[in-house]
Structure 1
């Protein structure tokens, strides 16, 4: 999921860079081109009908302003720079304490993927930080190691990971409108396989809600955030999936799946909302799971809860 940029009018240098980057029709067009998917500089240059040098300069300005993120990807003639949109919204605060998105109707919590409360995994499986493997590759031992809190990618073929989101802030707002959970995820195949289906079971507080349907274990290009040491033959990136709980039921990736609703969470009496992601006996396609942190894959986010009241 793309990040939000928050500007204060007093942050002159930061604001100036962004305003300068947005002050060019050509640079605005580039942002439109990469809105839905990353493109390399050559492709952008062709679509814009401008020289490669001009495209590269425009990308550098956009990247310096924090609007795009670039990464090197193998190409037919050496490496190529892949460009992706880093943010989808910019808020400018002119008058103090009146910043959109920091009002009283949204609560956002993020839990790093390594901060699971419970788990059960079967090899092949593994867990890594942005610096390297925790324990041996395809071993369960890394999931027990203290370093698991710093994990940026974990994978399993069978089993689950469970996260607990505290409810103490939510209890103050009994008229909750919705709670959404989102994360970057894909299947888990040997190496990678773009056509490798997996049904990841979703549980809230022990109740099976439905499935996240993953279409593949994606590796046809490098993940935009992956560290240099990560082998290009491994899983590279996932897709953002969302689970939305409303007053009437639950939707997974915008599809209604269950009557499980906000009242079912028992926020008033429970201390946490327990989210479990599993590949288990209920899954039709048992194709494993990769779960990405904020420094792996394509999206700079952890497991995110957004509550609107």
Structure 2
């Protein structure tokens, strides 16, 4: 099923990429062509009577905007690239959050995935930067090396990563929503789109819910992955959200816990502990891959946002949630 691409004025780079992709009449025609059925780049070039190099540039622009996927496939003359439409609709809501006053974002904190405060990791595991492996694969050496702060992809079979965020704004302002967003998928050998994993989330040491990851995604390159990263490995994840309000905890719009900002002591402790992990007794012990801003499909690290929302618009299950800036 094709997804809906939602974007707002805060996501400047993504909005610029989409604007560039849709500014060319021939790229609009290519989108329409690919909506009928996926095609390889040579077929696109032949259909529109343009050089293959020009077709490849148009395809790359559409891929960078997140509008299409590009997947290598074997061909009679070597590897070819199959292209298809990734989204069914683009929703651009430029000024809604400003005009309606629905969400007042008080604070945003962006923590790189390698800036964990504590960890407990079991092989198979690994950690890579934008340019290389950090330490040996399936070894814990990379997890305590000085360059771990450069990490752009971390994977483990079980265990946890703990991050700590500032809560000064919660102590000094009226706050009724704290949200975390991150890109994640399960962890299998190579990749396996049907490899389930139950990933637990803890806030200040209290388990508040489980993210059900359906697979370790591959078969097409992650939109942001560097060229050196193998196509036979994990490529991208899902963008997942958890938020805590005065009414409970929600994961992707589903209430998972009655714990609140008060009960989790988000406003009283010296920091907010945010922990992601796979327990050894989980129903599906399928590990996880955690993506940084230079890997996967979403140009972001782990983001915490703190809001003061109008009382009549506080998020409940099924309501629209605030967009995430990249």
Q: Tell me if structure 2 keeps the 8 A contact 1:7–1:90.
A: no
Which of 38, 48, 51 in structure 1 is aligned with 2:48?
Answer: 51
Cα distance in structure 2, aligned partners of 1:6 and 1:257: 29
Q: Tell me if structure 1 keeps the 8 A contact 2:66–2:223.
A: no
Q: Tell me if structure 2 keeps the 8 A contact 1:126–1:139.
A: yes
C-alpha spacing 1:142/1:164, structure 2 compared with 1 (3 Å): same
Q: Offset of 1:129 from its aligned partner? A: 0.3
For structure 1, list consecutive stretches of 5 or more residues without a partner in the other structure: 9-13, 93-97
Q: Tell me if structure 2 keeps the 8 A contact 1:6–1:90.
A: no
Number of equivalences: 287
State the superposition RMSD in angstroms: 4.0
Q: Tell me if structure 2 keeps the 8 A contact 1:21–1:62.
A: no
Name the counterpart of 2:229: 230
Q: Tell me if structure 2 keeps the 8 A contact 1:40–1:82.
A: yes
The runs of at least 4 aligned residues of structure 1 exceeding 6 Å deviation read: 54-59, 98-104
Name the counterpart of 1:208: 207
Cα distance in structure 2, aligned partners of 1:109 and 1:204: 16
Question: Are residues 1:152 and 2:152 paired?
Answer: yes
Secondary structure of 1:148's match?
A: helix
Q: Structure 2 length as normaliser, TM-score?
A: 0.73
Cα distance in structure 1, aligned partners of 2:232 and 2:285: 22
Matches within 5 A, 1:235-274: 235-274=234-273
Cα distance in structure 2, aligned partners of 1:178 and 1:79: 47
C-alpha spacing 1:168/1:268, structure 2 compared with 1 (3 Å): same
Which of 60, 63, 79 in structure 1 is aligned with 2:61?
Answer: 63
Q: Structure 1 length as normaliser, TM-score?
A: 0.77
Name the counterpart of 2:108: 108
Q: Offset of 1:30 from its aligned partner? A: 4.1
Q: Deviations over 1:197-243 (max 9, x none)?
A: 11011100000111010111111222111111111111111111111
Name the counterpart of 1:11: none
Cα distance in structure 1, aligned partners of 2:99 and 2:127: 37
Name the counterpart of 2:80: 79
Cα distance in structure 2, aligned partners of 1:202 and 1:133: 27
C-alpha spacing 1:288/1:19, structure 2 compared with 1 (3 Å): closer
Cα distance in structure 1, aligned partners of 2:167 and 2:83: 40
Q: Offset of 1:134 from its aligned partner? A: 0.3
C-alpha spacing 1:6/1:248, structure 2 compared with 1 (3 Å): closer
Q: Tell me if structure 1 keeps the 8 A contact 2:40–2:83.
A: no
C-alpha spacing 1:259/1:302, structure 2 compared with 1 (3 Å): same
Q: Offset of 1:22 from its aligned partner? A: 4.8
Q: Offset of 1:171 from its aligned partner? A: 2.4
Secondary structure of 1:230's match?
A: coil
Question: Are residues 1:117 and 2:117 paired?
Answer: yes
Cα distance in structure 2, aligned partners of 1:123 and 1:6: 38
Q: Offset of 1:163 from its aligned partner? A: 0.8
Secondary structure of 2:262's match?
A: helix
Q: Tell me if structure 2 keeps the 8 A contact 1:196–1:217.
A: yes
Secondary structure of 2:142's match?
A: helix
Cα distance in structure 2, aligned partners of 1:301 and 1:101: 26
Secondary structure of 1:271's match?
A: coil
Cα distance in structure 2, aligned partners of 1:104 and 1:214: 29
Cα distance in structure 2, aligned partners of 1:291 and 1:76: 29
